[in-house]
Structure 1
Amino acid sequence: MASDIVTAAVLLIGDEILSGRTKDINAGFIAERLTELGIDLKEIRVVADEEPAIIEALNALRARYTYVFTTGGIGPTHDDITADAVANAFGVKLPIHPKVEADMRIHFADRLNEARLRMARVPEGGELFYAEGIIAPGFRIGNVFVMAGVPKIMQSMFAAIAPGLKTGPKVLSETILANAKEGDVGTPLGEIQKRHPETSIGSYPFQDERGHNTNLVIRARDPDELARVKAEVLAMLDQVHAEVPV
């Protein structure tokens, strides 16, 4: 089973995210889509618009995971340096792509300037993909997908690349309302987890009209194993409720 697992990381690029000026929603969108595809998102990083930081993060992530998805920094301005950093991380040149340039000359005509032409630069060996209705492409090189930071454009780009991604067995999940405080279920829940190391059991406290409560989320790829762990958790909760008044 382990050999079938497909993993991924997301690299968010942009000073505006780190400063708080832009509230990121791209990571959540990608995480949801990857889960639907059976791809395990293992890591999310945020780096500034600084080439050494981008290169360092990208090289670490692409060596560790099946796929890396980057967002941000492929626009027309001087601080959009993602394409430069990706090319340098792979040790390739960053020429203007002839097809993209030709498309831009038709689309922009006399409005095509040096800034817009920056978006036609693609690392050697890069494969193009597009958001619907957008002339400037994203690109793939190796196991890295470089996408725009604007959420609507990024989402359209992801839709374009999703059919070609290698996928793995999907993770199934069950959510159980514990009707108990997290501290009351922590120890027995840990014992169940030890007996089922291939299953993930998460504990998420919150407050409702009853006061402190907890959602327990069980995740597994094997539906039979998921059912077994769910039964153990429910039996554990019955015992906790008998010992601790709800």
Structure 2
Amino acid sequence: MLTEVTATRYVTPLREGGSLPGLVEASDLTSYVMKFTGAGQGRKTLVAEVICGQLARRLGFRVPELVALDLDPVIGLGEPDPEVQELLKASGGTNLGMRFLPRALGFDPLAYTVAPEEAGRVVWFDALINNVDRSWRNPNMLVHGGDLWLIDHGATMIWHHNWRGAPAWAARPYDATDHALAPFGPDVAGAAAELAPLVTEEVLAQAAADVPDVWLTDEPGFDGPDAVRRAYVEMLAERAATVHERVALPESGAADATRTTGWVTQGATR
């Protein structure tokens, strides 16, 4: 399960996100980006954040630490924005916290280059979880400490919004023509050879186990939280084996296999 901490101070809303996340301080003296159960997208976005974020970490990607954040809406009484006040009032209880990365910069493909190997790993992972929100318009990646970090996985596994039609999604293709890393010649086949064998039912079950029960209760068609977790495991396990065969990338010239990941100015000095 996720580490449980308590939000002790609401600092400020972060208006870059459509769900209006907020920066908070917590009982462990750490700052987190809090994502709220009362946001318009609902609790399933938080479920996706946990399963995909924890799976990504187990596959070796850099993802900010996730915690279960207990919120007492009273901590936001000093916030003057009525929209934020309503969000806090609707989100009492367990919410999601993502460790805040100070001095992190948003990924910019003109300033930060990505090697085909790393680009392929990210594209393959996004194909697995059907991430529709990693385009050049909204990369949802940060550069922190010189390294690439993945964030914001709420718009993934969209089949869980309609479980009755979920089985048809396992064999669906993934359109990566608009992916933020498509220009870097991602080696998707190489990534599949490396990562697919790691996506075992045990690893998937561990990621699903980190989702708080309260976000999985009362799911139509399921007997309880564990049954919902099992459905996520089955979907992702089935998709992992062959999804690389159905990734659509834009036509381009041969990838520069010597390209390394890092700031463009660093590459110029090599």
Structure with the largest fraction of helix: 1
**Max Rg structure:** 1
Q: Report the TM-score when normalising by structure 1.
A: 0.22
Q: Report the TM-score when normalising by structure 2.
A: 0.21
